[in-house]
Structure 1
Amino acid sequence: MTRQVDGWDAPVCGMTWGWTGVRGTWLTPEAQHSMDEMAGLGVSWVTLAYGALQATAQSTTIAFADEPTVTDDEIRGAVARARRLDLKVCLKPVVNVADGTWRAYIGFFDWDVPGEPSWAQWFAAYREFIVHHAQLAAELQVEMFCIGCEMVRADSQEAHWRELIADVREVYDGLVTYNCDKYQEDHVTWWDAVDVISASGYYPTGSWPEQLDRIGAVVEREGKPFLFIEAGCPSREGSPERPNDWALVGAPSERAQAEYLDEMLSACAERPWVGGFMLWDWPATLYAPADAATNDDYCMYAKEGAAVVRRHYTA
């Protein structure tokens, strides 16, 4: 049985907006138009997702004050725009690797070795990045704050995560979540430290019942609210079988995306413990509606998938 958590109000009918948070793109007329169009899908929540860079997967500095990361004022402006649309907000600062390595591979030796980069050094830099944005989340009174995204190699550093969460709670009193990667829900050992369990739900078509059975056991054991803080599918042929592969080669297909979204949302609607979605994703600058048929990315703007989302979110 999932226990009640102060501030948690399911269902979360949400969208992820603004990724990757490129400086100069969040306070434009195009960004205003983008968020207005997103609200038309019946969303009640928005995750503002933005990235900061470290040079390599073994770097121990994170340049979150530098370009290309959005500025604090851009985040303030995006939150204000979301409030005007009556949306609840989750802030989601994410670390990326400048050389293109996926953040899941950020990692160090299990024990400290003199002269080698260490988990302790990295978490010190990561703490500075995350706590700064937790303070901003508190200033802006956003409803939820995500402390990390798909940090698969780092997931095992339980003590460091618990210390970070304690530091975040010193400055922010809203809901705290962590976005584990797909297939990792039952490997994180510190779910008790957060308020909401969240995951990236990029599961292949046909596998949703099996995966929901597995995740449901975790939710039952932990007694925490749960949502898919990322989930979606590119609008291209073949993507329903590999929805996490944004580089998959395939012809554009609105129908493939729409059918996947309907399958996913329908399967999850049968599981009351699934508290909602922050679908992936909705950029700060949209393509023209006339280009929707040839756009093969995750955004469902002006595609068949938009009607699917609107139907599920407004049911």
Structure 2
Amino acid sequence: MAVFPSSPRWSWLWLGLAALALLAALGLARRSAQPADPHLPASPSRSAVASAMPARPEDRLKGVNWVGADSVASQDLEPLVRAHVNWIAQTPFGWQAGAASPEIRMHTGAGSRHYWGESDRGLVRTAQQARQRGIHTLLKPHLWLRGPGGTWPGDISMTNEADWQTWFAAYTTFIVHYAELAEANGMEALCIGTELEKTVGHETEWRALIGRVRQVYHGPLTYAANWSGEFEQVKFWDALDYIGVQAYFPLSTSERPAKAALLKAWREPLARIASVQKRYGKPVLFTEAGYKTTPDAAIQPWVWPDRNALPATPDETTQRVCYEAMFETFWPQPWFRGIFIWKWYPGLQLNGPAHRHLDFTPQHKPAEQVMAQWYGR
């Protein structure tokens, strides 16, 4: 119990101070009770995204790259729940006629040659269904090259400055469309580009694009830089929330490597990634990582299996060992925030098509159990 001085003047002063303290406490409680921004993810939080401190289990992005299909149902997401997945990456496409073409076409609706799951309507519906199961969405638009000059987005390069400006204007329109879609529908994170290796030297243009995106989207941002050195070339990591890496590092020169050899091979990429992380102070995210179900999975992890060579015998052991080495190397790192496994087919059955069994998916294979064990820790 408080005892006040006997003087009336001091009594009123002490009462006033007590009243002010009470009002301040009530105000603090009221501010603490304010609802969160509905467009920001419950996990990871803004502060968790910006921090390079050790992540709490609930802050980890335990993800898969989701393959857009012609529909989505709640039961398609149940295997993800069982595997402790809490994020999916959805991938709509823009289309370029060639690597030196500055125009970008968008197909935001479903058509005869485009999956419903890659349309605006499909992206939104899939995110809604995922959210109902406690799964967040990283919206991750890609570019698809159709014509001369290469087929990989990393080949995109203009021949003159005017075309570069036209390309960046078109690409900004493309990304801002998906930023607005993500904001309007509460998608929890956005990737502003994937493997656009020859464009990242245009730092001024990228920073302008990021500023434009920040005006319309208020969740965390990343960029998906290729393993081959692009992630070390990017100069605008400070303007983003995550350092995103497409983690297809070659780890072996022989088939069926032992886990000890893979763990040793990871040391050099780990040091390179840690150096970039230290320079910018941002957490690292593997926006893609995965391995084929083949004996040579660790030699060139980015190469798709040769479907013309079917039937071939899957090598689930090599895929599993590659998963184990990756998780054992990176999951304990305090600055590492998570992985989006490449890739996951909704509704894939145990006895699905043969090419899917050689494919990157861990579904119905020992690699899925490895992923689930690490995601469930």
2:212 to 167, 172, 175: 167
Is residue 350–residue 364 contact of structure 2 (8 Å, CA) maintained in 1? yes
Secondary structure of the corresponding residue to residue 239 of structure 1 = coil
CA distance in structure 2 between the aligned counterparts of 1:62 and 1:201, rounded to whole angstroms: 26
Residue 308 of structure 1 and its aligned partner are, at CA, apart by 0.7
Paired-residue identity, %: 30
Is residue 93–residue 148 contact of structure 1 (8 Å, CA) maintained in 2? yes
CA distance in structure 2 between the aligned counterparts of 1:211 and 1:28, rounded to whole angstroms: 37
CA distance in structure 2 between the aligned counterparts of 1:7 and 1:90, rounded to whole angstroms: 16
Equivalent residues in 2 for 1:51-130 (5 A)? 51-65=93-107, 67=111, 68=114, 70-99=118-147, 101-109=151-159, 111-112=161-162, 118-130=163-175
- The corresponding residue for 2:176 is 131
| Cα pair distance change 1:7/1:72, threshold 3 Å | farther
Equivalent residues, number? 299
Residue 254 of structure 1 and its aligned partner are, at CA, apart by 1.2
CA distance in structure 2 between the aligned counterparts of 1:221 and 1:95, rounded to whole angstroms: 29
Residue 10 of structure 1 and its aligned partner are, at CA, apart by 2.9
- The corresponding residue for 1:45 is 87
Is residue 61–residue 87 contact of structure 2 (8 Å, CA) maintained in 1? yes
1:155 to 196, 200, 205: 200
Q: Is 1:16 the counterpart of 2:65 in the alignment?
A: yes
AA of the residue aligned to 1:107? S
Q: Deviations over 1:88-130 (max 9, x none)?
A: 2111111111237111101113634xxxxx1111111111111
Residue 223 of structure 1 and its aligned partner are, at CA, apart by 0.7
Q: Structure 2 unaligned runs (5+)? A: 1-44, 50-57, 252-261
Q: Deviations over 1:182-210 (max 9, x none)?
A: 13221111111111111101123332121
Q: For structure 1, which segment, 272-281 or 248-257, has the greater mean C-alpha deviation from structure 2 after superposition?
A: 248-257
2:242 to 196, 206, 214: 196
- The corresponding residue for 1:290 is 351
More helix by share: 2
AA of the residue aligned to 2:292? P
CA distance in structure 2 between the aligned counterparts of 1:302 and 1:92, rounded to whole angstroms: 25
Secondary structure of the corresponding residue to residue 186 of structure 1 = helix
- The corresponding residue for 2:373 is 311
- The corresponding residue for 2:266 is 208
Is residue 237–residue 251 contact of structure 1 (8 Å, CA) maintained in 2? no
| Cα pair distance change 1:120/1:180, threshold 3 Å | same
| Cα pair distance change 1:12/1:291, threshold 3 Å | same
TM-score normalized by the length of structure 1: 0.89
AA of the residue aligned to 2:317? R
Secondary structure of the corresponding residue to residue 304 of structure 2 = coil
Secondary structure of the corresponding residue to residue 169 of structure 2 = helix
- The corresponding residue for 1:115 is none
Secondary structure of the corresponding residue to residue 258 of structure 1 = helix
CA distance in structure 1 between the aligned counterparts of 2:160 and 2:203, rounded to whole angstroms: 12
RMSD of aligned alpha carbons: 2.1
CA distance in structure 2 between the aligned counterparts of 1:292 and 1:13, rounded to whole angstroms: 26
Q: Is 1:256 the counterpart of 2:314 in the alignment?
A: no
| Cα pair distance change 1:13/1:299, threshold 3 Å | same
Larger Rg: 2
| Cα pair distance change 1:290/1:304, threshold 3 Å | same
Is residue 26–residue 78 contact of structure 1 (8 Å, CA) maintained in 2? no
| Cα pair distance change 1:7/1:169, threshold 3 Å | farther
Residue 225 of structure 1 and its aligned partner are, at CA, apart by 1.5
CA distance in structure 2 between the aligned counterparts of 1:171 and 1:244, rounded to whole angstroms: 33
CA distance in structure 2 between the aligned counterparts of 1:247 and 1:110, rounded to whole angstroms: 37
- The corresponding residue for 2:333 is 271
Q: Is 1:226 the counterpart of 2:284 in the alignment?
A: yes
Q: Is 1:177 the counterpart of 2:222 in the alignment?
A: yes
Q: Deviations over 1:164-188 (max 9, x none)?
A: 1011011001001101011322111
